[in-house]
Amino acid sequence: MTAADAAAAVLDAVNRDRSVATATVITAGGDVAAGARLVVVEDGTVIGDLGGMTEQVLHAARELLHAGGSRNVTIDGVTVFVDAVLPPNHLVIVGAGHIAVPLAEIGVLLGYRVTVLDDRESFATEERFPRAAAVKRVDFTDPFATVSLGARTSVVLVTRAHKYDYDCLLRLLEMRVRPRYIGMIGSRRRVRAAFHALLEHGIDRQLLAGIHAPVGIEIGAETPAEIAVSIAAEIVAISRGATVNESLGARERVLDRLLKEA
């Protein structure tokens, strides 16, 4: 594998919201030559071969896929440089209404790559979201068909109707790749209705327990901008591993209080 091949594989992985690590042999030895390369993608894809060292190098590379960084690994006297590249944090906003506009701006300020999705041509426009990386018109029955989601993705559902919330949330929960954060706006009644329908559909209760709904941290927000701040604060807290004691979802406990286990 050439350096250009490795770079292309890394770029492809990052564009798909996947962490990726490269391993390059620095000093020759055994059955590998200096410059030999291996690429490991978060989804399990492995490109290249380092002979008898492959399994040990893979182990070292996978250790870096979540934390990032680089280090040298010495195996039987052969030095291998392992370097991990993490994709940027990705904020996917489903629904391009009045809350989505300030939320997209805050996402950009936080360093997120922002994607906005809506089914309305007049709302899903670059003029409405000038700093978003992508604005797409989609069908809410399969809104993520052209959007890559990964472990560093946060998805916020702020659609205009309960039906669309349900369709989008169902699609998310059925996907193999689970975003780091899924939040859904709505009143207690709206969240309860969505959760009840998902339980009836056969979605595991534990999956629903990981949904942040109603979305956001309780700050007394009223305006769209204030609500966007509340949502962004919860996303940051989750991404940093902080404990949020007063999130709306935790306070309302819709799943536990209103939808008792059978």
Q: What pLDDT score was predicted for residue 247?
A: 63
Percentage of the chain exceeding pLDDT 90: 59
pLDDT (tens digit, 9 = 90+) per residue, 200-241? 999 999 989 999 999 999 888 999 999 999 999 999 999 988
| pLDDT exceeds 60 at position 246 | no
Distance CA 114, CA 58 (A): 32
Q: Residue 32: how many CB atoms within 10 A of its CB?
A: 22
Q: What pLDDT score was predicted for residue 242?
A: 82
Distance CA 199, CA 194 (A): 9
| pLDDT exceeds 60 at position 107 | yes
pLDDT (tens digit, 9 = 90+) per residue, 45-101? 999 989 888 899 999 999 898 778 999 999 888 999 999 998 889 999 999 999 999
Q: Which residue has the higher pLDDT, 259 or 106?
A: 106
Q: What pLDDT score was predicted for residue 176?
A: 81
- Domains in the chain, CATH or no CATH each: 3-85 (no CATH), 90-258 (3.40.50.720)
For 181, list phi and psi in degrees, rounded to 5: -140, 135
| pLDDT exceeds 70 at position 156 | yes
Q: What pLDDT score was predicted for residue 255?
A: 76
Contacts of 101 (CB under 8 A, 6+ apart): 128, 129, 224
| pLDDT exceeds 70 at position 149 | yes
In contact, 183 and 157? CB cutoff 8 Å: yes
Q: Which residue has the higher pLDDT, 31 or 195?
A: 195
Per the prediction, the chain carries an average pLDDT of 90
Q: What pLDDT score was predicted for residue 262?
A: 62
